[in-house]
Structure formats: C-alpha cells, structure tokens
Amino acid sequence: FTDADRVENIRRVAEVAKLMADAGLIVIVSFISPFRAERRMARELMASGEFIEVFVDTPFEECARRDPKGLYARALNGEIKNFTGVDSPYEAPEKPEIHLKTLGKSPEEMVDALFHFV
C-alpha cells in the first residue's frame, strides 16, 4: 500500500467495524495501522468505551526473524515498496488500552493478558 492507500484501507475497515458495532456485535479488527491519525479516526467513529486499542509490540528485528513468507527480507532488498518499518513509517501508539510486549512471551500469555483486561 502507498500511504494514501493505507489511510483509505483503515478508513473503510473502521466504517465497517462501526456498522457492525452499531448492530450490537463485538468486533475484533486486526490490521497493521501504522499512522496515529487513522487510529484516532477509527476511535472517534465509535461510541465512548467501544474502541480498545491493543498494541502488539514486537521489535522490527523480531518480526523479520519470525517472518515465514520472507516479506521483510524482500522489503529490505528493495523488492517490496512501502513496507511498514522499512520505507514507510510506523508511529507506535501513545496510550493504547492494552500494551502487549511479545518478546519472551508465549501466545498463551498474550491471550491471558487480554482476558485479564476485560
């Protein structure tokens, strides 16, 4: 995605999530949303208390190490353009409701942290 494409993609996803939440559903959206402004826009679409930002915090180097498709290596070699963290910026959340630091933690521990938030 270009930066403009990312903005539009997040806007569309946020609008659909709002429609589903308005219908009474619990909506879980898992996206790379690299820009604070778009995350803020998504939050502002929802009623107070309906938006919970979960920051799954994994260092770039660890993401590249875990990458089963080799996308990070391809991006670092210039084969993929506009890759978040390589040639497209990532703005970490400033005050997420949940901050999951994944290094040294199992997926089960991360799920447990989510359950304890609710």
Closest-CA residue to 39 (of 97, 83, 80, 86): 97
Residues 6+ apart with CB under 8 A from 109: none
Considering the candidates 30, 33, 48, 106, report the single residue annotated as catalytic. Answer: 33
Residue 88 falls in the annotated catalytic set: no
Residues 6+ apart with CB under 8 A from 73: 64, 67
| Catalytic residue numbers, as ranges | 33
